Structure 1
Amino acid sequence: MQMTGAQIVIECLKEQGVDTVFGYPGGTILNIYDELYKHQGEIHHVLTSHEQGAVHAADGYARSTGKVGVCLATSGPGATNLVTGIATAQMDSIPVVAITCNVGLPLLGKDSFQEVDIAGVVMPITKHSFIVKDVAKLAKTIRRAFVIAKSGRPGPVLVDIPKDITAAVTEFKPYVPSPVKPYTAEIRQEDIDCAAEMIKESKRPFLFVGGGAVASGAWEEVRKLSHNLQIPVTDSLMGKGVFSGEDPYYTGMLGMHGTKASNLGVTKCDLLIAVGARFSDRVIGNPRNFARNAKVIHIDVDAAEINKNILVDCSIVGDAKEILKQLNEKLSPCQREEWLEYIEQLKAKYPLKYRQEGLTGPAIIEELYRQTKGNAIIVTEVGQHQMWAAQYYKYNMPRTFLSSGGLGTMGYGLGAAIGAKMGNPDKIVINVAGDGCFRMNMNEIATATRNNMPLIQVVVNNQVLGMVRQWQTLFYEGRYSNTVLQDKVDFVKLAEAMGAVGIRVTTKEELPKAIAKAIELNTTVVLDCIIDSDDKVFPMVPAGANIEDAFDEDDLT
């Protein structure tokens, strides 16, 4: 059948099972938006307040559902406003397809109004970027974009379409996409055997899970491996929820703001099994001394990650879920009571702790956990509040903690929370932000209220750029250069002005009632929680130091 390029875009989205897209219209993408208007019963479009909010929403939708997130933007500044969100998705391996439209073919390369080579701009921060100059190739390109986004190591793909291509007509043939199968081509039996022997011989193994374990859906296999072989488990920021935070074998996060139990345990282990983790600098600290007493097994779908940051003794390349299935079949249950007892002693000696008097970031997170019973989707911005949310909320399932790990994008959370809520309408979704982060994209509160969205926005308000100020306190002799905000923005009034409910919390005693009300109201609520400017995230490892050198407030006195 004959179709325009714009019609083909919509039909291809429907083929891929896309029911929700996020975006902001403009001149060059009007043909696609006109088709969206005709298909609003099949594809729901969420109009965000800014294109950056749209790409973060697509990212949050993808992280929380496991599906591909889709966003739309017009040419020029519309397209370039997606760049930070695309880079965020690339760093954390999130499947997003961004569809932009450009000026017509005769205007390309002539510095036309709102023209930019967006495919070239995003080339270093996508798995692939396309510009479609022939309408006959449009359907094939969009279909390929979805396969690329979700196959192997997931990631973002951009498809740029000149406006005249969206109006051009060509023959379109419907297509039923085949499921993308887990990547197993490079899984070698000798690597499986090598890893199994190393695990059998180990007396002090430690399991370290990252975002790849979430992407592959390997949580059941990870838990089976740990429980059957009595292996303690730590995680990265991206690996939250793969292993339950309530499990007795769980030791807390690893790295710069990880627990002392995890950092010391990994330092003492004789075998580290890393599953879908890229050994970020924020995790390993000084690479020369990281897990220096251990042999390392690295399981990852991306061969480029092997030996990139840490030299390993055994590697298995492929889908983590399939690899762990095969490993579990080869390994019989065993006892490691002495090792587990040592880990329990570390956990007892070095628990996470914080100041109990007054309202604090950790107190806010613990109360959120208590009232949601660990069943909410927690989204964060980046900074102190992000670390508190990682430390003090116990994540029982994957895809319930959404945060910008690799790029560290301030302003990520609110858009991502909107995406998560659209993908999980029956879940409580809470975005935890610092006041500095919230100010960056707080305009998306208007998006939430426009869509009558039950969403809780917690502002951990300390009137400073908390994490940067913490570094200035500890390493820059208290020279607070441009980190003290103390502005006159009233977040409660701002929430009300955008159609949300605003609640201010100034004491620890007010907190339970305020959170309960926010949940009960079932609407968009902003909780403005005032905490002390000097509250800090502990433990902490100085940048580049050994992870066992983690210190807390007691060590500073």
Structure 2
Amino acid sequence: MTGAQAILDYLSQQGIDTLFGYPGGAIMPLYDAMLDSPVKHYLCRHEQGAAFAAIGYARSTNNVGVCVATSGPGATNLLTSLADAMLDSVPLVVITGQVARPSMGSDAFQEVDVLGLSLSICKHSMQVMQPEDLLPSLNEAFQLARSGRPGPVLIDVPKDILLGDVPELMALPQVDFQYPKCSDEQIEQANQLLDECTSPVVYVGGGVGMANATQNLRYFIERNNFPVVSTLKGLGSADFRHAGYLGLLGMHGLPAANLAVQQCDLLIVIGARLDDRVTGKLDEFAPNAKLLHIDIDPAEINKRRQADLSLLGDLNQILPQLTALQNKPQWLHTIASLKQQKSWQYADLTKQQSIDAPAMLRSLSNALQADAIVSCDVGQHQMWVAQHMQFNRATQHLSSGGLGTMGFGLPAAIGAQVANPQQQVVAVCGDGSFMMNVQELATLRRYPLPVKIIVLDNQRLGMVKQWQELFHEQRYSETDLSDNPEFSKLAAAFDIASDVITQGEQVAPAIKRMLEHKGAYLLHVRLNTTDNVWPIVPPNTANHQMWEKPQCTS
């Protein structure tokens, strides 16, 4: 087989039937071989869009996403998406074409050192320089992407290797990964911590969903009746119906979640990295708590805060061994009172001339099917989604966390819809973020895919505007987006149905029309330019000192 044929044959053997990408000179042999392959390719309209689609595919399934691009600008256009996958631990394999080996190092047309560029933003990067190394490298890439803490792996393949013959391997080696494992003594110490504490809180991160450990986590929480808070990526892992569920914590965390963590005496961190957006002022974060940190990646232990005890390994093996039973009625009463006092008071949309984004998104959440997937862009709307929408599984909430990449929402929704054709998929976008990868409307049209798009439009770069208002003396610089296009007309140019709403009473019927429409749909929601996300923890401030909505008790 040629190198190009071998790649596609390997993908088929691995059960990979979907690629996202964009063709070009150095990767052209692979595209030629696709004509004779059962692997289906989705042509996105920008390499960044293709990689985000692969990320959406991966995150909505917990499987490896695959994207391909050519050399030079094709490869460099992928770099932001690689960084996004790296910071959010997404299993991704990226195959880039490279100029032929005899031309390498000569500044050939579209030659870029993508290996060097990608080293710091990938779990691993490799360049295939011998035909016999192609299949072993591809095999290693998939195993690395899936193993331990997942992440993106890049393989750069010169064009002459794609065109030339490669040897067929009867059996590909399995990479021997040494997973960390905690001792029986550590498990005993953890159970002692659980037994001795009086006010515990479970802090859930994205590692739970990636480990497929949701069932074990929920059993651990239910049998002990633990209060529980979540990071952005952890949303959906814990059951939001649980009496002690307090929701998002951190900079824009819900008040009850932040206050409970500040008052606890044992913080049980599961599959999370104590991100700065979560902790606020680190030396005042959970000041009275011992820290039990459970994770698969030793690099996260003691990175930002010293753990009193750490358990390294597979969550599905560790959580069932934590058998100490909790019975803390006084603490549970405190949590229940805190939750009731700080519950969000949603506006009555039927009585509003304008549209309140939190109330609108809660209405959307209530209207969606139980298995619906929501892909979100970055900005104020991202925080409103995290605060006010409810998710049954972590794979239902796709959001760019660590990198905070604008333009993530639409292409990630495309990938999720490809992977889950029978499920509702909704992209919640801000007007600023939507314009970052708006060209992917053409991808919706081409296939076609019934993704529903909500553009929350305040004609501002909202989160930056909010910081300029609160922390930069209202000196607004380059955040006015009042020259946005008419988004419904833009949708019409791509044969996508659309609607525009401006008043609260229009929300419920508009959501109903959107969800009942069989194809792609864009709902343009006009918001007040002055609306902000509350609460907010100011810079270098402890979470319990968050600013809540002015003249509002919630």
Q: Shift of the alpha carbon at 1:54? A: 0.5
- 1:250 matched to 2:250: no
Q: Shift of the alpha carbon at 1:347? A: 0.9
**Alpha-carbon distance in structure 2 between the residues aligned to 1:173 and 1:250:** 51
**Alpha-carbon distance in structure 1 between the residues aligned to 2:346 and 2:552:** 14
**Alpha-carbon distance in structure 2 between the residues aligned to 1:364 and 1:175:** 54
- 1:300 matched to 2:298: no
Residue of structure 1 in register with 2:84 after alignment: 88
- 1:28 matched to 2:23: no
Give the SS at the match of 1:113. Answer: coil
Q: Shift of the alpha carbon at 1:555? A: 6.2
**Alpha-carbon distance in structure 2 between the residues aligned to 1:177 and 1:423:** 28
Q: Shift of the alpha carbon at 1:227? A: 1.2
Q: Does the 8 Å CA contact 1:211/1:238 hold for their aligned counterparts?
A: yes
* Correspondences of 1:258-269 after superposition (within 5 Å): 258-269=253-264
Give the SS at the match of 2:455. Answer: strand
**Alpha-carbon distance in structure 1 between the residues aligned to 2:95 and 2:334:** 52
**Alpha-carbon distance in structure 2 between the residues aligned to 1:415 and 1:488:** 20
Instruction: Choose from 318, 329, 340 the match for 1:337.
Output: 329
Write the letter of the residue equivalent to 1:455: V
Give the SS at the match of 1:22. Answer: strand
Instruction: Choose from 8, 11, 15 the match for 1:17.
Output: 15
* Correspondences of 1:515-526 after superposition (within 5 Å): 515-526=511-522
Q: Shift of the alpha carbon at 1:321? A: 2.0
Give the SS at the match of 1:537. Answer: coil
TM-score by length of 1: 0.96
Deviates more, 1:333-342 or 1:294-303: 333-342
Residue of structure 2 in register with 1:239 after alignment: 234
Q: Does the 8 Å CA contact 1:71/1:98 hold for their aligned counterparts?
A: yes
Residue of structure 1 in register with 2:433 after alignment: 437
**Alpha-carbon distance in structure 2 between the residues aligned to 1:339 and 1:516:** 41
Write the letter of the residue equivalent to 2:87: M
**Alpha-carbon distance in structure 1 between the residues aligned to 2:216 and 2:177:** 15
- 1:284 matched to 2:244: no
Deviates more, 1:545-554 or 1:62-71: 545-554
Give the SS at the match of 2:237. Answer: coil
Residue of structure 1 in register with 2:130 after alignment: 134
Q: Does the 8 Å CA contact 2:280/2:537 hold for their aligned counterparts?
A: yes
**Alpha-carbon distance in structure 2 between the residues aligned to 1:18 and 1:375:** 23
Deviation digits for residues 64-116 of structure 1, max 9, x if unmatched? 00100000000000010000000000000000000000000011111110000
Give the SS at the match of 1:246. Answer: coil
Deviation digits for residues 370-415 of structure 1, max 9, x if unmatched? 2115431011000110001011111122210000000000001111
Change in CA separation of 1:517 and 1:121 when aligned onto 2, cut-off 3 Å: same
Q: Does the 8 Å CA contact 1:86/1:126 hold for their aligned counterparts?
A: yes
- 1:107 matched to 2:103: yes
Q: Does the 8 Å CA contact 1:246/1:394 hold for their aligned counterparts?
A: no
**Alpha-carbon distance in structure 1 between the residues aligned to 2:197 and 2:552:** 36
Instruction: Choose from 354, 377, 384 the match for 1:381.
Output: 377
Residue of structure 2 in register with 1:54 after alignment: 50
Q: Does the 8 Å CA contact 2:281/2:540 hold for their aligned counterparts?
A: yes
Write the letter of the residue equivalent to 2:12: K
Deviates more, 1:505-514 or 1:531-540: 505-514
**Alpha-carbon distance in structure 2 between the residues aligned to 1:239 and 1:211:** 4
Q: Shift of the alpha carbon at 1:352? A: 2.5
Q: Does the 8 Å CA contact 1:97/1:156 hold for their aligned counterparts?
A: yes
Query: % of aligned pairs identical?
Result: 44
Residue of structure 2 in register with 1:193 after alignment: 188
Deviation digits for residues 196-223 of structure 1, max 9, x if unmatched? 1100111111000001111101111111
Deviates more, 1:408-417 or 1:359-368: 359-368
Q: Does the 8 Å CA contact 1:368/1:515 hold for their aligned counterparts?
A: yes
Count of aligned pairs between the two proteins = 549
Q: Shift of the alpha carbon at 1:127? A: 0.6
Q: Does the 8 Å CA contact 1:59/1:416 hold for their aligned counterparts?
A: yes
Residue of structure 1 in register with 2:529 after alignment: 533
Residue of structure 1 in register with 2:141 after alignment: 145
Q: Does the 8 Å CA contact 1:216/1:320 hold for their aligned counterparts?
A: yes
Structure 1: unaligned runs, 5 residues or longer: none
Give the SS at the match of 1:239. Answer: coil
Write the letter of the residue equivalent to 2:166: T
Change in CA separation of 1:518 and 1:176 when aligned onto 2, cut-off 3 Å: farther
Write the letter of the residue equivalent to 2:13: E
TM-score by length of 2: 0.97
Write the letter of the residue equivalent to 1:336: K
Q: Does the 8 Å CA contact 2:51/2:78 hold for their aligned counterparts?
A: yes
Q: Shift of the alpha carbon at 1:556? A: 8.8
* Correspondences of 1:410-425 after superposition (within 5 Å): 410-425=406-421
Deviates more, 1:394-403 or 1:97-106: 394-403
- 1:545 matched to 2:545: no
Write the letter of the residue equivalent to 1:444: E
Q: Shift of the alpha carbon at 1:246? A: 2.3
Q: Does the 8 Å CA contact 2:194/2:326 hold for their aligned counterparts?
A: no
Q: Does the 8 Å CA contact 1:151/1:183 hold for their aligned counterparts?
A: no
**Alpha-carbon distance in structure 2 between the residues aligned to 1:138 and 1:373:** 43
- 1:351 matched to 2:349: no
Deviates more, 1:189-198 or 1:169-178: 169-178
Give the SS at the match of 1:458. Answer: strand
Give the SS at the match of 1:238. Answer: coil
Residue of structure 1 in register with 2:113 after alignment: 117
Write the letter of the residue equivalent to 1:298: H
- 1:316 matched to 2:311: yes
Change in CA separation of 1:540 and 1:555 when aligned onto 2, cut-off 3 Å: farther
Residue of structure 2 in register with 1:469 after alignment: 465
**Alpha-carbon distance in structure 1 between the residues aligned to 2:183 and 2:520:** 50
**Alpha-carbon distance in structure 2 between the residues aligned to 1:85 and 1:240:** 22
Give the SS at the match of 1:409. Answer: coil
Q: Does the 8 Å CA contact 1:538/1:551 hold for their aligned counterparts?
A: yes
Change in CA separation of 1:388 and 1:230 when aligned onto 2, cut-off 3 Å: same
Change in CA separation of 1:379 and 1:372 when aligned onto 2, cut-off 3 Å: same
